[in-house]
Chain A
């Protein structure tokens, strides 16, 4: 089975994982945004499955999620779009990020099966408890060849990081500091560096991407000093809020991050 995530980390450095909410700004932007982001240099696509009550997300992604739901986005619609998307960007790893409740209503196994069929590579389900993943769902993920991505925060214990690392075979998502997505408060730079260096020194088997609060080129470059790349979401969504040409805006955004 091909493994686009592994291939991406093996062949590239300083990976840019771009998050955007499916069905935002309009219902059928999911595919054109993917093409534009990849053409402009995004290395991984992380597509948000909108949820009514996204607990780990700040106001920007909350608003994009509400708008996407109002546009008519739901999992059956998204799976239809992903089929085309996979054909359009055949090499790029595609992750789905979202909360557990809509997935459970769809049915976990049905969801994993469908995700695999349309060419999804991995899943980020932040409110899926690790114990339940390990006991109930890990074999199911393996059966369908899907990778689980886990979050780590500055408060996550070393023992738990080792467990998350052992259970994952994609990458680890380092949450940059306290707060929900799209935070604008300046981090404590020393504490953040200490945290990133502590994780680096653990010699984990999985590569690491840093996310939360990374909005521009300097944030991206800083993250690349401490990890294998970064995840950007809210800053892109913010740019997409007031544009008439979402794909062009997205392309500009990525070019701004990736310019030498």
Chain B
């Protein structure tokens, strides 16, 4: 059975959200991708290459770990989907492996990407090194400062990191600069978007490449719990790629509650927040009609989160639709609550999560899950890149 939740319309709409709002300069590139991505993804040779890389390079399947001490703390059965154990330390590489194979089949010779926390930039630089393609990663000047280890990793991998100096100098602005690069290099360049955002077909393309997360979850849950379906799936949402992957194969299973966790920053009503589902209204950002944070005149406002990966004023159109239709429930978590979850997961399970992921972990206390319920938290990334932030906030961690 296909439903409207997984599959956008031919023009890339999930309900009223999606589409491709792009200037003419981008049209040929996006159209080439739109007309070819499904055929390439379905090609058996592509699938052989992809499965090979996911297994032997990325390290899939990632484990589904029953977190007994977190379970005890929250009085429910908590499983962690260990995307932090992927090569490069986060789920982002599931997408970049797929897109680099796609770019090769499109005959592209140069790769560009945007990055916030740097995980997508590292994952892109990694696959470009693997395939011998030149790579330029745009990153906000603010993020370059707060995610220095990932900047160093990208450079070590041979990528050029370019600073985005406009606006809030974070993920939104890095995305603007990547799009401008694509406008200037319309023939030889493929843009590997890191989240389920941007013009159609990107949200669908990235969701399909991340869907391996929930595909594995189902098989692993069957083995560990006797049923493929959990009661809750919890994931953090900036643009929403790890959530899209974790939700994908449960979208059409109404018994599974899907919990999308956004960054409240200092708090929803403080003016320093990135909780788009609460603060956003419909509009157009980065070529997609979705929920975004904007003022009364349609100017996009600056989001805030301590977490660079969630510091984005929009969400992917799939998530906007899941929220509007009630299929997913949205929760927002402040910086301080996320930091508390970092130390809790570190001390109870011996796993230091990424700051983004900690937002999802922090939602465990708000689910109302019972002792027999099965809760899967998508542990989207590891915390190595955030050590500097954690050191600066030691008082809130202990």
Q: Which residues of A contact B (CB under 8 A)?
A: 51-53, 55-56, 58-59, 62, 66, 69, 74-75, 99-106, 126-129, 131-132, 150-153, 155-157, 160, 175, 178-180, 183
The CA of A74 and the CA of B22, in the complex, are separated in Å by 22
Whole-angstrom distance between the alpha carbons of A73 and B20 in the complex?
27
B28 at the interface (CB under 8 A from A): yes
Contact B183 A127 (CB under 8 A): no
- Taking the complex as formed, is B365 at the interface, i.e. its CB lies under 8 A from any CB of chain A? no
> What B residues does A131 contact at CB under 8 A?
11
Q: Name the residue in A53, A59, A62, A156 with the highest tally of chain B Cβ atoms < 10 Å from its Cβ.
A: A53
Chain B, range 7-38, C-beta contacts under 8 Å to A: 11, 19-25, 27-28
Q: Provide the residues of chain A in CB contact with B184, threshold 8 Å.
A: 178-180, 183
Contact present for A100 and B284 (CB under 8 Å): yes
Verify B180–A55 contact, CB threshold 8 A: yes
How long is the Cα–Cα vector from A222 to B338 in the complex, in angstroms? 59
Say whether, besides A101-B283, A126-B24, A151-B24, A55 and B179 are in contact (CB < 8 Å).
Answer: yes
- Give the segment of B81-89, B294-302, B385-393 that binds chain A: B294-302
Q: With A101-B285, A127-B284 as known contacts, state yes or no: A180 contacts B183, CB within 8 Å.
A: yes
Q: How far is the CA of A59 from the CA of B185 in the complex (A)?
A: 17
Are A102 and B298 in touch, CB under 8 angstroms?
yes
Interface residues of B in 217-239 (CB under 8 A from A): none
Interface pair A155/B28, CB less than 8 Å apart: yes
Number of interface residues of B (CB under 8 A): 33
Residues of A close to B23: CB separation below 8 A: 55-56, 126-127, 151
28 A-B residue contacts at CB 8 Å?
Answer: A51-B299, A52-B167, A52-B300, A53-B176, A55-B22, A55-B176, A56-B23, A58-B180, A59-B166, A69-B299, A74-B297, A102-B297, A102-B298, A103-B298, A104-B284, A127-B284, A131-B11, A150-B24, A151-B23, A153-B27, A153-B186, A155-B187, A156-B24, A156-B27, A157-B28, A178-B186, A178-B187, A179-B184
- Kindly state whether residue B120 has any CB partner on chain A within 8 Å: no
Q: Is B28 a contact partner of A179 (Cβ separation < 8 A)? A: no
Q: Decide if B300 touches A53 in the complex (CB within 8 Å).
A: yes
Contact B20 A105 (CB under 8 A): no
Residues A151 and B298 in contact in the complex (CB < 8 Å), given A100-B284, A104-B284, A180-B183: no
Which of A58, A75, A152 is within 8 Å of B24, CB to CB? A152
B25 and A105 within 8 A (CB): no
Q: Is residue B323 within 8 Å, beta carbon to beta carbon, of the partner chain?
A: no
Partner of B28, one of A52, A59, A156, A175: A156
Q: In the assembled complex, how far is the CB of residue A22 from the closest CB belonging to chain B, in whole angstroms?
A: 13
**A211 to B225, alpha carbons, bound, how many Å?**
63
Per-residue CB contact flags for chain B residues 271-298 toward chain A (1 = under 8 Å, else 0) read 0000000000001111100000010111
Taking the closest CB of chain A, its distance from the CB of B300, in whole angstroms, is 5
Q: Of the candidates B27, B176, B179, B297, which one forms a contact with A75 in the assembled complex, judged by CB atoms under 8 Å apart?
A: B297
Bound-complex Cα distance A55 to B26 (A): 10
